[in-house]
Amino acid sequence: MLARAALVPILLLLACSTPTRPDGQKGVLTPGMKAPELEAIDHRGERVRIPSGAPLLVFFYPKDNTPGCTREACALRDAWDAYQKKGVEVVGVSADSLASHREFAEEHGLPFGLVSDDGTWGKAFGVGRTLGMHRRTSFLIDGEGVVRKTYEDVDPGVHAEQVLADAEALGLTR
């Protein structure tokens, strides 16, 4: 019984991993670092590329149709017109399947792409996972692929407006 109790903290540490990025470093990418060159097909069948040639918000979230993730995605949906006017693109990333992403996007009217991550994107950005789900982390990337802002303690209710304000302050908007 005591041996099992001693294993619990070890298993929790293993479940809450921070990956080693392809550059050999640990931790999330920080402002000034080059974003990884990545490509994927989103839930709509459209190609998503980094760098995209335009300012881009890449938001990692734990799971489709959970309260915090739904609130964050819907706040971005509600701010979509402002993002479009300012020329800032948005892509969401989680470990959920493309089928799950399609259902999530349809149910909530999400206008932006959702990428199903097999671990490649999260590892490249240094985003940790807890129990197989990405930690809520976002990156504001300029058109040349440089990380301009990293968000590790994301409040889903205000994140959409915060990112847009930061994009304007950093001179990334039209």
- Full residue range of the structural domain in which residue 52 is found: 30-169
Q: Is the pLDDT of residue 28 over 90?
A: yes
In a domain, 45, yes or no: yes
In a domain, 23, yes or no: no
Q: Supply φ then ψ for residue 143, to 5 degrees.
A: -65, -20
Q: How confident is the model at residue 126 (pLDDT cuts 50, 70, 90)?
A: very high
In a domain, 160, yes or no: yes
Q: Is the pLDDT of residue 13 over 50?
A: no
In a domain, 2, yes or no: no
Each residue of 127-149: pLDDT tens digit? 988 888 999 999 999 999 999 99
One-letter amino acid of 83: Y
Rounded to an integer, the average pLDDT of 105-118 is 98
Tell me the C-alpha distance between 134 and 136, whole Å: 6
In a domain, 62, yes or no: yes
Active-site residue (options: 33, 35, 69, 124): 69
Mark whether 16 is an active-site residue. Answer: no
Rounded to an integer, the average pLDDT of 47-57 is 95
In a domain, 19, yes or no: no
Domain with residue 130: its CATH number is 3.40.30.10
Rounded to an integer, the average pLDDT of 110-118 is 98
Q: Is the pLDDT of residue 40 over 70?
A: yes
Report the domain count for the chain.
1
CB atoms within 10 A of CB 8: 9
